[in-house]
């Protein structure tokens, strides 16, 4: 006798094709949307050493005084053992430094240098290029732009004079910031902490007398809003440098004219400086900054 369909045992849900794993998936799908994250919701990729390094950098960015590794650990609520290796690595890479003769640490300008490689900084040079090209043609003088590179200044853009004779600086050239018109102008419009770090860092390579003179010149620049000085390296040239400011009032670059006095130059010194100031103001405004108060005429 044939068995009826009712007499056949039914398969359980777990035995049905495609049912394996369904309860787990349904359980996950049924998780309330507002449930609190548990240990399973931690970031898939977690780098403790990197997190500690960023904590150290962010802490030092808020401090104006040097601190030791143990003080860093205390402020971060971590053990010295946790922080020490991170501090050593950051120091080795140049992100933090010890001022001359000190054991404590401060943030270097390395992060600033890295930041200047980003498109927003290149945008400054791109915005400035047509302006300084026009300035060179109108003033009959060579023009260059510079930025800080640690305790040095670095030439980032240059335009030749349209005349046969002019002063030309090579793009990429690096020199001590305290010894150049561009460098001193950049130093003048940094934060107090960065400015002091630059002076203290210069003591390792220059005498106390030269650093003291640089301090005096920087204070004068802060007072009048720009640098104007006879060139130490090229006789007959007067260097004039204006800052390019960001929205926080920090000089991110300078635009500088090494004015060469010659019978071949139809534009007077005062006129050329006025054109230079207008160019600096135009670049600053185009990049979202505000120029400092400037005492003109020269």
What is the average pLDDT across 117-130? Answer: 79
- pLDDT band for position 41 (cuts 50, 70, 90): low
Domains of the chain from N-terminus onward: 48-107 (1.10.10.10), 114-286 (3.30.450.40)
Q: Is 29 a residue whose pLDDT tops 50?
A: no
What is the average pLDDT across 106-113? Answer: 79
Q: Is 155 a residue whose pLDDT tops 50?
A: yes
**What is the reported pLDDT for 245?**
94
Cα–Cα dist 271/276, whole Å? 9
- pLDDT band for position 117 (cuts 50, 70, 90): low
**What is the reported pLDDT for 297?**
64
**What is the reported pLDDT for 89?**
94
Three-state secondary-structure class, residue 114: helix
What is the average pLDDT across 168-190? Answer: 92
**What is the reported pLDDT for 125?**
87
Angle at 258 between CA 257 and CA 262, to 5 degrees: 115
**What is the reported pLDDT for 261?**
85
- pLDDT band for position 35 (cuts 50, 70, 90): very low
- Cα dihedral 200, 202, 204, 206, rounded to 10, equals -130
Record the pTM.
0.62
**For 52-56, 118-122, 257-261, which range has the lowest pLDDT when averaged over its residues?**
118-122
**What is the reported pLDDT for 234?**
83
How does the average pLDDT of the chain come out, rounded? 83
Q: Is 18 a residue whose pLDDT tops 60?
A: no
Q: Is 23 a residue whose pLDDT tops 50?
A: no
pLDDT in tens, 219-236: 999 999 999 999 888 888
**What is the reported pLDDT for 115?**
66
Q: In sequence order, what are the beta bridge partners of 245?
A: 251
**Residue 184: CB partners within 8 Å, gap ≥ 6?**
177, 178, 214, 217, 218, 221, 227, 241
Cα–Cα dist 256/139, whole Å? 12
pLDDT in tens, 192-229: 989 998 998 888 788 889 999 999 999 999 999 999 99
Rounded to 10°, the helix 48-60/69-76 angle is 100
Q: Is 93 a residue whose pLDDT tops 90?
A: yes
**For 27-31, 91-95, 181-185, 210-214, which range has the lowest pLDDT when averaged over its residues?**
27-31
Q: Is 65 exposed, middle or buried (0-12, 13-18, 19+ CB in 10 A)?
A: exposed
What is the average pLDDT across 3-26? Answer: 46
Check residues 17 and 294 and name the one with the higher pLDDT. Answer: 294
How many of the other CB atoms lie within 10 Å of CB of 144? 25
Q: Is 45 a residue whose pLDDT tops 80?
A: no
**What is the reported pLDDT for 243?**
97
């Amino acid at each position: 006798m044939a068995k009826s369909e009712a007499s056949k045992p039914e398969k359980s849900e777990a035995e049905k094709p495609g049912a394996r794993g369904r309860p787990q998936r349904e359980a996950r799908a049924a998780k309330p949307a507002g449930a609190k994250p548990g240990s399973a919701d931690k970031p898939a990729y977690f780098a403790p050493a990197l997190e500690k390094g960023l904590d150290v950098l962010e802490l030092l960015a808020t401090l104006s005084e040097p601190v030791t590794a143990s003080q860093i650990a205390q402020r971060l609520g971590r053990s010295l053992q946790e922080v020490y290796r991170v501090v050593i690595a950051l120091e080795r890479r140049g992100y933090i430094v010890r001022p001359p003769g000190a054991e404590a640490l401060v943030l270097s300008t390395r992060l600033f240098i890295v930041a200047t490689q980003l498109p927003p900084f290149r945008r400054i040079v791109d915005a400035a290029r047509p302006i300084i090209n026009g300035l060179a043609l109108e003033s009959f003088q060579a023009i260059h732009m510079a930025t800080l590179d640690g305790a040095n200044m670095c030439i980032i853009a240059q335009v030749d004079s349209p005349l046969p004779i002019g002063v030309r600086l090579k793009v990429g050239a690096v020199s001590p910031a305290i010894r150049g018109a561009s460098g001193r102008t950049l130093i003048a419009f940094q934060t107090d902490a960065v400015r002091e770090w630059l002076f203290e860092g210069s003591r390792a390579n220059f005498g106390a007398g030269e650093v003291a003179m640089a301090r005096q010149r920087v204070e004068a620049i802060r007072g009048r809003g720009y640098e104007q000085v006879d060139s130490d390296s090229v006789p007959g040239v007067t260097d004039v440098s204006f800052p390019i400011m960001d929205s926080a009032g920090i000089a991110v670059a300078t635009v500088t004219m090494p004015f060469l006095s010659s019978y071949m130059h139809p534009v007077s010194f005062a006129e050329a400086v006025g054109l230079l100031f207008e160019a600096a103001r135009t670049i600053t405004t185009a990049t979202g900054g505000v120029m400092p108060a400037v005492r003109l005429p020269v």
